[in-house]
Structure 1
């Protein structure tokens, strides 16, 4: 069962991640935001690709669901932290974090 403190610890251990307020949430970013943590610490919104979102929601429907509306169609996915194990949380964070890394320069 993951907690807000676990999300914060793991996210901040990922290279280049910083934390800052984002409306009523805490946002974790590298070049762009890849996860936000609700003020109550019970849920987090992850930025996945639409295919990753579909897969996460299919294999763990009690834990993951698309954010309503256009944000959800872009891959933003809400996770109920208490439904995730520590390894599941880390895997989701690393997946979202990779999308936020700066693009390699083209040669």
Structure 2
């Protein structure tokens, strides 16, 4: 998946906005980060629940894997855009959105 396709996908979620975060685009809902886009490394960092992180990391640890260090233990998960199937990324982004978004935003989603 290319970065522009990811951007369009992320911004299709209800209430999702794009803002800068330490020189990287971040995608937020209700002011909280759901994902960041690392253009230099062709990857996305998603905020997943511990359970979802474990689940998605079983796909392929070279494609989806916890961020090394304490950030990974908090659910932050790297996704390699060059290798991830679009459907898998869509599912992981949906899980991240549901982890971060207020419940009222998720109605009908």
Where do 5+ consecutive residues of structure 2 fail to align? 105-109
**Aligned twin of 1:18:** 17
Cα RMSD (Å) of the superposition? 1.3
User: Offset at 1:3?
Assistant: 1.3
Q: How does 1:13-92 map to 2 (within 5 A)?
A: 13-31=12-30, 32-40=32-40, 42-92=42-92
Task: For 1:27 and 1:70, locate their aligned partners in 2 and report how far apart those are by CA, in whole Å.
Answer: 20
User: Higher relative contact order at CA 8 Å, sep ≥6: structure 1 or structure 2?
Assistant: 1
Matched residues in 2 for 1:34 and 1:65: separation?
Answer: 16
Aligned residues: 103
Structure 1: give runs of 5+ residues left out of the alignment.
Answer: none
Separation in structure 2 between the aligned mates of residue 95 and residue 9 of structure 1, nearest angstrom: 17
The structural deviation recorded for 1:41 is: 6.0
Residue of structure 2 equivalent to 1:96: 96
Q: Deviations over 1:72-107 (max 9, x none)?
A: 001100110111112112111111011121245xxx
TM-score norm. by structure 1 comes to 0.88
| SS of equivalent to 1:26 | strand
